[in-house]
Amino acid sequence: MRSLPRGVGEVVVRPHHPAEVEDREDQHEEDRDHDREFGQALAPLAASLGMADLVDFRPHSPRSELFRWYCVSDVVGVPSYNESFGLVALEAQACGRPVVATDVGGLRHAVRAGQTGLLVPGHEPGPWADALAAVLDDPSERVRMGANAAGHSSRFSWDNTAAATLAAYHVAQLRAVGTGR
């Protein structure tokens, strides 16, 4: 099993755009061409790592259908170089899936390390492979993290986010009044 995550670690951490992007009216032709070209480069990479039959590159999915991909995944990798919020990680967790993500920005809040998934420092394939293997090789841990993930992600609902924002403004207002500002 270790060869699969090592190869996946190599593919996951390569900076890339979606493998293929369906034509969208709001996307420029040159952007679609670039995405297609990059997508065509990922299949040979998987083949060179001996995992062509284990990796399935799919076209861009509309937002309304992303949950289907999360639900059929054992683990979701989020190898971001920076992330302000971590929406992909939260969406995957809402579907009960553990997340392996880079230890950056908003992902530090979106993923509870050891509880809802794992955080990986940096983008070296080895640590990524180890983190993915830790989740993939232990079905009971994967189920535990997935169950925790579903509960954790619910804290980030729009209602909860709006309530927390209003509470923060209220506290700031009280402090401003208390200091005479």
Q: Rounded distance, CA 75 to CA 20, Å?
A: 21
Asked whether the whole model's pTM tops 0.75, one would answer no
Q: Higher-confidence residue: 32 or 2?
A: 32
Over the stretch 30-51, which tens digit does the pLDDT of each residue have?
A: 555 555 666 677 888 888 888 8
What's the chain's average pLDDT? 82
Q: What is the pLDDT of residue 33?
A: 59
Whether 4 has a pLDDT exceeding 80, the answer reads no
Q: What is the pLDDT of residue 75?
A: 94
Whether 1 has a pLDDT exceeding 70, the answer reads no
Count of structural domains within the chain: 1
Q: Tokens 């579903």 correspond to what residue? A: 150
Which CATH number belongs to the domain containing residue 144 in this structure? 3.40.50.2000
Largest CA distance in the chain: 67
Range from 5-9, 64-68, 176-180 carrying the lowest mean pLDDT: 5-9
Q: Do the beta carbons of residue 116 and residue 148 sit within 8 Å?
A: yes
Of 2, 3, 5, 39, nearest to 20 by C-alpha is 39
Q: What is the pLDDT of residue 36?
A: 63
Whether 104 has a pLDDT exceeding 70, the answer reads yes
Q: 168, exposed or middle or buried, with CB in 10 Å at 0-12, 13-18, 19+?
A: exposed
> What residues make up the domain containing 125?
3-179
Range from 3-7, 75-79, 134-138, 164-168 carrying the lowest mean pLDDT: 3-7
Q: What is the pLDDT of residue 25?
A: 46
Confidence of residue 8 (pLDDT cuts 50, 70, 90): low
- Write the CA distances from 169 to 156, 162, 173, integer angstroms: 18, 11, 6
Over the stretch 64-97, which tens digit does the pLDDT of each residue have?
A: 888 999 999 999 999 999 999 899 999 999 999 9
Q: Rounded distance, CA 33 to CA 27, Å?
A: 10
